[in-house]
Structure 1
């Protein structure tokens, strides 16, 4: 992997050509080489581009790699959404009274009144609020899609925070989904929806239930295994 020396800082970078971009972009993340993206250029041109931004890169490397509390979120940390982990930027905004979170341009931005790091405990409710908004916007329409696809009907669908479950189908056939379902890949989200729709017919995990799931989604085992590997929730 190419590298250059800028004062006492060794800058190692990885080049990722992207013909869709008209200019070059540099990304600095904790514990990773500097990422240079943009139109294809040879190694000397890459080095020139990195050297042009070397002072900025050095400052960002110092920021993202400084010692921190085990649960601190800093610029360069990663937060999960729809099965992927996204670059997170922490911005110090002293004028704020409480932190806030946004997602744009394929990155999370957390504005923090206290400094350039924030604990995961503080980020968690911000992220859950974001998941709740996205679930209302994206997940609930998928329920209606799968009702049309399967012919199975629920009495309603809503977002609800559970203690230790991803989703449920109650006795009245109302489907409920934890906001953190939005952490998962869309294919796993679809499996959860199908799973709960099948519970409108078979309340327990009987052979008939799993046969119905397989009839609707033949590749359900792959998504079920992915769900079991996820870090939250009991069996749905």
Structure 2
């Protein structure tokens, strides 16, 4: 079985199957190759299972095409294809340039990034007042595996994909990351702070998980 080894100062072994179904082993700097080989052999069934799932998702992504609607904040809006340079959203529908898949995708993602910046800036400002906290900056990223993050300097970063989610889920991620300004961990105190603001945060987490499953089979790379 082929796999890539990524060594670091970590103390344990871990296996990661990429979205491209490639196997990556994360290992301590000085760990012997024979130990790594044995670990991979031990986890072979798990690896094969996850590779199979990733390949299925790859196949679905390759056949994904834009249709008659596009999602925004948990709703589907109609799409009109026109001879225009940039994608637009007028509050009721999307206007999208004609072209091949990559052209359309690039234009739509550019628009989503702009919409995400506006929406998340607004939601952060609201919850800053509620929680009495303030970030050093709010930025939009292209992160695939994280909806949001809080840096050591209290800068909040949100994936543009978050703007596809229901507003309840958006608010959860905003509150989650703002809470990290006070608690840079996931301790009991952190979750108490989140729950104090959003008592139903676990329900909101489930909304995000479902969206993650949907995006896994769509070609938004």
Normalising by structure 1, report the TM-score: 0.59
The CA distance in 1 between the partners of 2:153 and 2:66, in whole Å, is 41
Aligned equivalent of 1:178, options 131, 154, 159: 159
Partner residue in 2 for 1:130 = 111
Partner residue in 2 for 1:100 = 86
Q: Gaps (5+ residues) in structure 2?
A: 1-61, 217-221
- The worse-fitting range, judged by mean Cα deviation, of 186-195 and 124-133 is 124-133
Shift of 1:110: 1.5
The CA distance in 2 between the partners of 1:72 and 1:128, in whole Å, is 14
Shift of 1:84: 0.8
The CA distance in 1 between the partners of 2:144 and 2:91, in whole Å, is 32
Aligned equivalent of 2:195, options 214, 219, 222: 214
Aligned equivalent of 2:139, options 138, 144, 158: 158
Deviations 1:152-191 (A, max 9, x none): 2222212122242111001111101111211111121111
Q: CA RMSD in A?
A: 2.2
Aligned equivalent of 1:72, options 30, 55, 65: 65
Q: Secondary structure at the match of 2:183?
A: coil
Q: Which has the higher contact order (CA 8 A, sep 6+)?
A: 2
Q: Secondary structure at the match of 2:120?
A: helix
The CA distance in 2 between the partners of 1:123 and 1:80, in whole Å, is 15
Q: Secondary structure at the match of 1:172?
A: coil
- Indicate if the aligned counterparts of 2:144 and 2:159 stay in contact, CA closer than 8 A: no
Q: Gaps (5+ residues) in structure 1?
A: 1-68
Say if 2:186 is the partner of 1:205. yes
Normalising by structure 2, report the TM-score: 0.62
Q: Secondary structure at the match of 2:162?
A: helix
Partner residue in 2 for 1:88 = 79
Structure number with higher strand proportion: 1
Q: Higher Cα Rg: structure 1 or 2?
A: 1
What is the number of residues matched between the two proteins? 153
The CA distance in 2 between the partners of 1:164 and 1:122, in whole Å, is 24
- Indicate if the aligned counterparts of 2:97 and 2:104 stay in contact, CA closer than 8 A: no
Structure number with higher helix proportion: 2
Partner residue in 2 for 1:167 = 148
Q: Secondary structure at the match of 1:72?
A: coil
Say if 2:203 is the partner of 1:230. no
